Structure 1
Amino acid sequence: MAGPTTAQRGEAGRADTPARPPHIGPQGRRLTGRTRLVLAAAGLALVAAATVWVLYGSSWLRLEHVTTSGTDVLTRSEVEAAAAAPVGSPLISVDTGAIADRLRQKLPRVDSVDVVRSWPHGVSLKVTERKPVLLVEKGGKFIEVDAKGVRFATIDKAPPHVPLLELTPDRSASLRRFGSDRLLREAVGVAGDLPAKVAGVARTVRVTSYDSVVLELTGGRTVMWGSGEEGPVKARVLTALMKASPKAGHFDVSAPTAPAVSKS
């Protein structure tokens, strides 16, 4: 019997050879990349939607309590009532700037306030109160004035260690030129420049003209301050004089480069 022919053997060999996989061209690879981008974008959208819902729609991150620090004269309940923080609102939507504005408007004693979200459920109020450097007596009451010249409170009783203003300007060219308001600002500036130890024993700041400010201290001592110019220099000179001559009764720093001390 005759064997297979050459043509038949070639066909059998081709039949035994495994088929090659189809070639995937650049077009197929680009399609896969686009699919990945679509899936990634969809994932990011879902994450963003979930984040928005958690921050705004859920009950997890809502304002539940307000804490206050830094108060001295003011009470925490006063501050928190004036702040009117929207308890129950999403914490992310709380307008911290509006809270700060309300506090400064309703409580003039507040000099500054930091309003900070305290995640996950709180808002903290860090208050800085104005400090009086001078008192103005009016109608049996006392108006507190800070170092910026702001009259921020009227009280019935004078606080300790805050000097009282005595504004008794003479009928001079100084008064006609500057006016009582300018002289008041001059007194405030002097009071704000006083060293802490001097401010604590100052009883009055007497102003008779722009360049004539006199301090009356406890123990009958007086300080001729002069004008409000060179205040920090005068403060340092006065501190040195009082340390060197603790029993002196009169100090003159109106010309800080040539100060003077006397017993009376």
Structure 2
Amino acid sequence: MPERSGQGGASRSTRGTAGRGSRGATERRGAERARRRPSNRPPRDRGPRDHAALEARAARRRTVLRRGIAGVVTAGVVAGLVWLLGFSSVFDVTDVEIAGTSPETLPAVRDATRVAPDTSLLWLDTSALDARVQTIPRVATVDVRRSLPHTVTVTVTEREPVAAVPMGTGVALVDATGFAYRTMPAPPTGIPRLVLGPGLAPSPSDPTTVAAVRVLAALPADLRSKVLELRAASPYDVSFTLDGGRTVRWGADADDARKAAVLGPLLGRPGSTYDVSTPDLPVVS
């Protein structure tokens, strides 16, 4: 009997231990399932730092997005401008307007300002056009401008004759700089003859030519219109003949304004030769 009782106690003890182990395993599985199931509890309130971090991340995303959009738009605008300015016909030259030329000079200026087809006004080399027009002898100055969207405006100032230098069977017209730009059979009305010293040719680089045209420029307009002929043997020996046959000895190209001021009243005196080469001591003979 005692032996059976001991066996029964051992059996109960074993069953109790097994029961506790089974319950523990069950509890662990239940806890694991509970951890895996979504919680129905409301989310934990985020603090100010969490909200600030979220706002910062959102701001960075917005900045990246804006920069990306701006980059795409900028690239599109640049590509459009490159095409518009460099490859489209929007600004092609279609008209060249010329002003300031005489009928005799106009054809030469028109030829010099021809523009190749499909030339953009924006890329037009106005300096090259200017240089071509300047090669025309009768042109003193030229101004080439762009007029959007299609027009080139060319304004020309032609040379004006101040004297006519005998050359061969005709004369060469000389402007106020001493440049000989045109030959004619005879001087135009109102243009005096200019006789230079032996071996001299009219040129802006010739001191004698320059002296002669400077003397003419120093005279009042009413007196200048009475000059029939100038003689310039050198820059220091200039004289001219007025209508009526009177002669003026000017001397050197110096003190021109003073000499012109003295000559006016001096011509009121009777005489045939008026010497103002020394303006403080003029002589009438």
- Structure 2 CA distance for partners of 1:138 and 1:31, relative to 1, 3 Å: same
Among residues 152, 162, 172, which one is paired with 1:143 in the alignment?
Answer: 172
SS across alignment from 1:44: helix
Q: Could you report, residue by residue, the CA deviation over 1:90-135 in whole angstroms, capped at 9, with x for unpaired residues?
A: 1112110000101112x12111110001111110111111222222
Runs of 5+ consecutive residues of structure 1 not aligned to the other structure: 1-10, 170-174, 176-180
Match for 2:93 among 38, 63, 80?
Answer: 63
Once the two structures are superposed, the pairs formed by residues 91-110 of structure 1 within 5 Å of their partners are 91-105=121-135, 107-110=136-139
**Residue 27 of structure 2: aligned partner:** none
Supply the AA of the counterpart residue of 1:55. L
Q: RMSD of the TM alignment (CA)?
A: 3.2
Q: CA–CA distance in 2 between the matches of 1:246 and 1:101?
A: 51
Deviation digits for residues 154-212 of structure 1 (CA, Å, limit 9, x no counterpart): 2233122222112356xxxxx9xxxxx54333323323333332332211111244432
Report the CA distance shift for 1:15/1:86 in structure 2 as closer, same or farther (over 3 A): same
8 A contact 2:93–2:152 mirrored in 1? yes
Code of the residue aligned with 2:275 in structure 1: it is: D
Q: State the TM-score, normalizing by the size of structure 2.
A: 0.70
Q: Distance in 2 between matches of 1:16 and 1:165?
A: 110
Matched, 1:77 2:107: yes
**Larger relative contact order (CA 8 Å, sep ≥ 6):** 1
In 2: Cα distance, 1:52 partner to 1:110 partner:
38
Structure 2: runs of 5+ lacking an equivalent: 1-38, 201-205
1:1-150 to 2 correspondence within 5 Å?
15=42, 23-72=53-102, 74-105=104-135, 107-150=136-179
Change (3 A) 1:210 1:124: closer
Q: Structure 1 residues 186-195 or 94-103, which shifts more?
A: 186-195
Query: 1:86–1:94: 8 Å Cα contact kept in structure 2?
Result: no
Q: Which amino acid aligns with 2:72?
A: A
Task: State the alpha-carbon separation in 1 of the partners of residues 278 and 75 from structure 2.
Answer: 73
Say whether residues 1:193 and 2:223 are aligned partners.
Answer: no
Task: Write the letter of the residue equivalent to 2:132.
Answer: R
Q: From the CA coordinates, give the structure whose radius of gyration is larger.
A: 2
